[in-house]
Chain A
């Protein structure tokens, strides 16, 4: 720091080239009032966030219910209709197809669907907040 002339010194300081940083490049492009409001938990923000959480929750519950109904009914169906294991499709007993093959694409499909829905809800929320 000693290279800088102290204030009130007589030697005329050559103006030094300075880099002026107006904003951190990592900072958000615009400082958004709504985001600040969210952070400060105004009553509006609280309501909006609560609604958003509810949307995400019920999406997840609905998809979980599909799985619960499908897998929950299988043991009961097998119990009530023991003849099913005699049915063969392409040489494999039907219950084995239902338990050994079908669940995996189904689980992945539901997971994929949830991912799409959840990301869409998040985009909508961000759009609403940043509008």
Chain B
């Protein structure tokens, strides 16, 4: 492939820019507060860019387009939920959480409910969720680099991301990561917007759907290949055929060795790993089983009551899950005050809305241009593969390189945020919280997931986006919401809710995984259990708190006042300053005036 050189250059450039930006801002970082919360001096616009940069992971950059390509209208709920989660965060969490003065999620739990035990439990969950997220990031980076440069083994990409991230966080902690993530938001926006504009222009220039001879997006027929296409199946797939199709098979299909022309009638066909399928231009596309096979079904949302249920469950998980993600919350502690935290979230709503238009367009375009991704099931590659499909020349190579660079930036920025949040928690809760401890925590938080990523197969821990949001929504979300707004919550209730919610999600994850290996007997409900687990977690917190009213912290009213009173009154007490700050900083706090 000639694409290689451009893409490799682009990826190296992104890595280099990330490294040098991090290095430059690292020189300013010296204290524990620099490393944990960037001294809480990040202005709302830059912070918003950094939040968005961190949040737009590969799941957004590559995944949304892939989901739109595969599932159509129902997949549009992902970008909506990803954005709406921030509105929920803004309405209920942002300002009070910042004013609580906490510096990590476990610290908030202790500040509000005064229990070391709850703090330890939250620490365990933060580290667990962090690792659960980091492993797929590293693996995804590996697969992307492998795809661009097939001669490299898959571990190279993961290791590259891990090293750049560890070096940056090691040098400057949150201080360095903030600048890097803000830069990477704009980079990703460019990397998806510019190719989308060019590709749309080319699409119109091609004469649209008619000119290509493709299936219109609203026709009741499967997508068609616009050119002769060979598809290499890399993992076993079950394909659903709607319209009979003639194809050439080299390898193994329908449990028989095949080498030559074959006819597939309507129904399902299994294809084994390593098989090559060749389709001629104009033939209908077989589609991975479970995805809508004709364009009209693809275009219309919610086509059955099962769909309806899954959609609602997904909405709950995404709307409430964002506020429970530790690496998202850690960015909110860097705001100067509560008002700035709210403004940051408002900016984030704008930046995310701006971004998500483009992957949706690319997903729809790839339904026309790259239906072979539906055959191999590798729909996540849509954003990377589309430029070469539309413009098989130098222009396509350059556009492909730009999207590859954006994807790499997505892996980098999300992993940086995750490593910072895990390292912060490790250094202050397990270790003593000195800068040295933070660095040690960074090395640990980066290398352990990297090792796991190398050892495990990608499918072993392929936690779907929906599932990880369900986990966050069922553990931290009830504790945060009730902790901020409900006076009668106790640490017993919070701990019970977190445990029950977490365990329920993990059980349904286990059930889905087992059923995936043994014939898919589990109902779709277990793939997205938020509709049940989130209300249960809330209920458990409320019931258990009611049962242990004697354990309400004695200074609850004062804590609540600090969380909600306007910043101008100067009630904020930064707990990191109180714990790690210099004598001068502490005396300023004692005066009752917040740093301005």
With CB as the reference atom, state the residue of chain A lying closest to B569: A35
Q: How far is the CB of A3 from chain B (nearest CB, A)?
A: 26
Complex alpha-carbon distance, A52 and B571, angstroms? 15
Complex alpha-carbon distance, A64 and B356, angstroms? 22
User: Which residues of chain A are near B300, meaning CB under 8 Å?
Assistant: 78, 82, 84-85, 93, 95
User: Contact: B83 with A104, CB < 8 Å?
Assistant: yes
Decide yes or no whether A4 CB sits under 8 A from chain B: no
With CB as the reference atom, state the residue of chain B lying closest to A85: B300
User: Contact: B302 with A118, CB < 8 Å?
Assistant: no
- Stretch from B34-42, B109-117, B509-517, B556-564 contacting the other chain: B556-564
Decide yes or no whether B52 CB sits under 8 A from chain A: no
Count of chain A residues near B, Cβ 8 A? 54
Q: Given A26-B591, A85-B300, decide whether A115 and B564 contact each other with a Cβ distance below 8 A.
A: no
User: Which residues of chain B are near A67, meaning CB under 8 Å?
Assistant: 84, 87
User: Contact: B564 with A99, CB < 8 Å?
Assistant: no
| Contact with A107, one of B87, B92, B564 (Cβ below 8 angstroms) | B87
User: Contact: A75 with B73, CB < 8 Å?
Assistant: no
Decide yes or no whether B303 CB sits under 8 A from chain A: yes
User: Which residues of chain A are near B305, meaning CB under 8 Å?
Assistant: 79
**Chain A interface helix/strand/loop/mixed:** helix
User: Contact: B76 with A96, CB < 8 Å?
Assistant: yes
Q: How far is the CB of B347 from chain A (nearest CB, A)?
A: 9
| Contact with A49, one of B296, B339, B345, B564 (Cβ below 8 angstroms) | B564
Decide yes or no whether B245 CB sits under 8 A from chain A: no
Count of chain B residues near A, Cβ 8 A? 59
User: Which residues of chain A are near B353, meaning CB under 8 Å?
Assistant: 104-105, 107-108
User: Contact: A75 with B312, CB < 8 Å?
Assistant: yes
| Contact with B302, one of A60, A75, A122 (Cβ below 8 angstroms) | A75
User: Contact: B299 with A56, CB < 8 Å?
Assistant: no
Q: Given A27-B593, A119-B339, decide whether A103 and B301 contact each other with a Cβ distance below 8 A.
A: no
User: Which residues of chain B are near A99, meaning CB under 8 Å?
Assistant: 73, 76-77, 80, 301
Decide yes or no whether B350 CB sits under 8 A from chain A: yes
Decide yes or no whether B15 CB sits under 8 A from chain A: no
User: Contact: A85 with B90, CB < 8 Å?
Assistant: no
Decide yes or no whether B62 CB sits under 8 A from chain A: no
29 A-B interface contacts by CB (under 8 A) = A28-B593, A49-B560, A49-B561, A52-B564, A52-B565, A60-B91, A60-B92, A64-B88, A67-B84, A71-B319, A78-B73, A78-B302, A82-B300, A85-B300, A93-B73, A93-B217, A93-B299, A99-B77, A100-B76, A100-B360, A104-B353, A104-B356, A104-B357, A107-B349, A111-B345, A112-B346, A114-B91, A119-B339, A119-B342
Binding site for B on A (CB under 8 A): 24, 26-28, 35, 38-39, 41, 45-46, 49, 52-53, 56-57, 60, 63-64, 67, 71-72, 74-76, 78-79, 82, 84-86, 88, 93, 95-96, 99-101, 103-105, 107-108, 110-112, 114-115, 118-119, 122-123, 125-126, 129
Among all A-B residue pairs, the 8 with the closest Cβ atoms: A104-B353, A85-B300, A122-B566, A99-B76, A60-B91, A78-B301, A78-B302, A75-B311
Starting from the known contacts A38-B565, A75-B308, A95-B299, 20 additional A-B residue pairs (CB-CB under 8 Å) come to: A26-B591, A38-B569, A39-B592, A49-B561, A49-B565, A53-B485, A53-B560, A72-B315, A74-B301, A78-B73, A79-B302, A79-B307, A96-B73, A99-B76, A104-B352, A105-B353, A107-B86, A107-B349, A115-B90, A119-B342
